[in-house]
Amino acid sequence: MNDGPTNDLKNQRKERMRFVSAEQVAQLAGVSRSAVSRTFTPGASVAPATRERVLKAAEELGYHVNDLARGVLANQSRLVGIVATRPEVGFRAHLAAALSKALIQRGSIPILINTGQTEEEMLAAQKMLIGHRAEATIILSGSPPANFFELAHRNGQPLVVIGRSEPDADHVRAGNSEASRKAANAFFEKGRRKLAVATSFSATSSIAERETAFKTAAEALGASVAIGRGKDSDYDSGIAAAKQLFASAADYPDAVYCANDQIAFGLMDYVRTTLGLSVPDDVAVIGFDDVPEAAWLSYRLTTFRQDPIVMAQRAVELVEKRLANPDLPPAYERVIPELVVRDSFVP
């Protein structure tokens, strides 16, 4: 059996898959391997003529510095972990995209870890990032256990959490309370008295803060507040919350504050399609996040805008400050959302 040609093809493929090495650049440029290394090391001393030959050879061969190997030798890297549960859903998708772009502009390499909320899953993600010498971790969701933070601190890895409150970490949070109180006041000023909150059992700190602040402010004004919950903070939960809130025709709420836009979309579709109610005439709706779908003609949702670009920039700034000065006390950045008025409710 002659398998020579097959093996030759395999070897050729393997050869093509190899990255260009610094040794190859050195051979083509006629210089030493260390001269190539110095050429691509900022601040290193190398003769102008040597530098020119090395750069010309590198361009001809398509050579790029092995940043991963360099990071391993320096016991650090430009890797930054982005840890999120269901990063493809709602506002998290836009925030993850904005973080990736901001980190790349900084010169970092973002790694998205799609993990669950169990202790085992979170610790596995953290060990992976520590093992790859990630210089920081940004957490978008989930409830990291205490061991998660202890492991990061023992390895000198900065942690930034977005939309959560965790000890010994830097924080970026939206002004949930401010926005929620504004929503309650806006409904009340338009004569809405039978108010409701559509939320979820996920009970993240941001979701809980929005619910509590709205309910407290509305009841202080003298309005009644009903609560409807779904399993998670998504479209299906909006439908589940709507079924609870509109179970009795004699007691329909006339305004609903939704913990996020995904919940608002589900609720609006249910009350209009299933119950035949009008938004905003029969029931006014305010959401939270201002994802792109909020502007669609199907929804035209009035909502509080969280700007993912601003939040990403704040998170990256906190990473840089922590790397520059590891002994700083935990930082708290608060971004106040703006009310974007559309058709579902006009103050």
Residue extents of the structural domains in the chain? 4-65, 79-174+309-335, 176-306
Q: Tell me the Ramachandran region of residue 163: left when phi exceeds 0, alpha when psi lies from -120 to 50, beta otherwise.
A: left
Give the closest residue to 335 by CA, choosing from 175, 120, 148, 130: 175
Instruction: Provide the token pair at 203.
Output: 């009970």
82: CB partners within 8 A, 6+ apart: 96, 99, 100, 110, 111, 112, 113, 137, 138, 140
In this prediction, residue 65 carries a pLDDT of 63
pLDDT, tens only, 269-300 = 999 999 999 999 999 999 999 999 999 999 99
Q: Which CATH architecture has domain 79-174+309-335?
A: 3-Layer(aba) Sandwich (3.40)
C-alpha 112: how far from chain center: 9
Instruction: Provide the token pair at 235.
Output: 């479209």
User: What SS3 class is residue 344?
Assistant: coil
Q: Which CATH architecture has domain 4-65?
A: Orthogonal Bundle (1.10)
C-alpha 298: how far from chain center: 26
Residue type at 222 in one-letter notation:
G
pLDDT, tens only, 170-220 = 999 999 999 999 999 999 999 999 999 999 998 788 899 999 999 999 999
Q: Is the pLDDT of residue 247 over 50?
A: yes
pTM of full prediction above 0.85: no
The percentage of the chain sitting over the pLDDT mark of 90, rounded to a whole number, equals 52
User: What average pLDDT does range 117-134 have in this prediction?
Assistant: 73
- The structure tokens 């935990």 sit at 330
In this prediction, residue 253 carries a pLDDT of 97
User: What SS3 class is residue 114?
Assistant: strand
Question: Among the CATH numbers 3.30.70.20, 1.10.3720.10, 3.40.50.2300, 3.90.1150.10, which is that of 176-306?
Answer: 3.40.50.2300
Mean pLDDT of the chain: 86
281 in Cβ contact with 316 (< 8 Å)? no
Long-range contacts of 273-277 (CB under 8 A, 24+ apart): 275/246, 277/246, 277/252
C-alpha 286: how far from chain center: 23
In this prediction, residue 139 carries a pLDDT of 86
Name the band, by pLDDT with cuts 50, 70 and 90, for residue 81.
confident
CA angle 309, 259, 278 (to 5 degrees): 110
